[in-house]
Structure 1
Amino acid sequence: MYLAFSDGFGTALGKGAGAIAAYTALGLVLLIIGFLAVDLATPGRLTTIIRTNRNANATLLAVCGVSAVGLVVAASIFASGGKLLEGLIATLVWGLVGIVAQLVASVIVRYLLGVDVAGLMAKEKLEPSAILLGATQATVGLITAIAVI
């Protein structure tokens, strides 16, 4: 049995795999930056609050923040057609804009509602204000993702 590949198949496959690796690496960097941004905006060390204290409020805020960044990164990759370098730059810029937008929205909601985040991190049970802040992060991520597209 003879398998024939079209001309340039190997080159296209290699370039495609390289692009996937580059976008994945950039996406992971943006997710880490997004997590660190949520960590900076949260009183105390977020990883300690989650791992050691097993705090549901902190976990919810981290999950929503990272998921929202993931939405923005995915939309940025989807909308970044064209050359690889241009797409990576666009994804980086849009991802960072999404992270900043989430932080700003979260701070505004905290201020408007008078949410004491430090107090929230000390509570053992899941609080309604944590759900609201998490939903705010997720919604801002969705809005930013759609704006990118």
Structure 2
Amino acid sequence: MILAQALDATYWSFLGRGVGAILLYAVIGTLMMLIGFWAIDLTTPGKLPAMVRAGLPNAVLITAAGMVSMAFIIVTAVYGSVGSLLQGVVSSLVFGLVGIIAQVAAVRLLEWVTGIDIGEVIQAEEPRAAARVVAAAHLALGLIVAVAVF
């Protein structure tokens, strides 16, 4: 009771807004991660979720690197948001989505330039060196796009 009396109404309002913002950004971040996964799946030959569930090592490695790179982009989009909560949410969504598109396009371009047959690599049952190149490209380009977003 003494603690509640020591903290005035502005504190409780601040606390409520902060908790609300955390929950809102968590939902937005989760949605953007799902969109990022969908973008990787859409641009990758075959059914990526099935290949990951089957434990195909190259599919798992490339998907994991892609998801981490999406997280870089989303984190910087949220961190760099400014203004009111609504402005921050809108800018996070826009910058995050544009960043995801740019990152996926850049990785696919790199695969094309290097001549990597991503469909063959990702469906192989044994680890392939090319999968490490694609995973590294996801991480590197994710960092580059994340910095551009920020």
Scaled to the shorter chain, the TM-score interval is: over 0.9
Q: Which residue of 2 aligns with 1:2?
A: 2
Secondary structure, in 3 states, of the residue corresponding to 1:30? helix
Contact 2:107 2:141 in 1 (8 A): no
* Amino acid in structure 2 at the alignment position of 1:133: V
TM-score by length of 2: 0.93
Kindly provide the amino acid, as one letter, of the partner of residue 37 in structure 1: A
Report which stretch shifted further, 25-34 or 108-117: 108-117
1:122 deviation in Å? 2.7
Q: Is the 8 A contact 2:103 2:145 kept in 1?
A: no
Separation in structure 2 between the aligned mates of residue 122 and residue 109 of structure 1, nearest angstrom: 19
C-alpha RMSD of matched pairs (Å): 1.3
Distance 2:135 2:11 in 1: 45
State the shift of 1:118 in Å.
1.6
> Which of 31, 36, 39 pairs up with 2:38?
36
2:126 corresponds in structure 1 to 125
Query: How far has the Cα of 1:102 moved from its partner?
Result: 1.5
Q: If the length of structure 1 is used for normalisation, what is the TM-score?
A: 0.93
1:116 aligns to what? Answer: 117
| Mapped partners of 2:114, 2:64: distance in 1 | 21
Unaligned runs of 5+ in 1: none
* Superposition misfits of 4+ residues, deviation over 6 angstroms: none
Identity of aligned residues (%): 35
Q: Report what 1:105 is aligned to.
A: 106
Counterparts of 2:148 and 2:120, CA distance in 1: 34
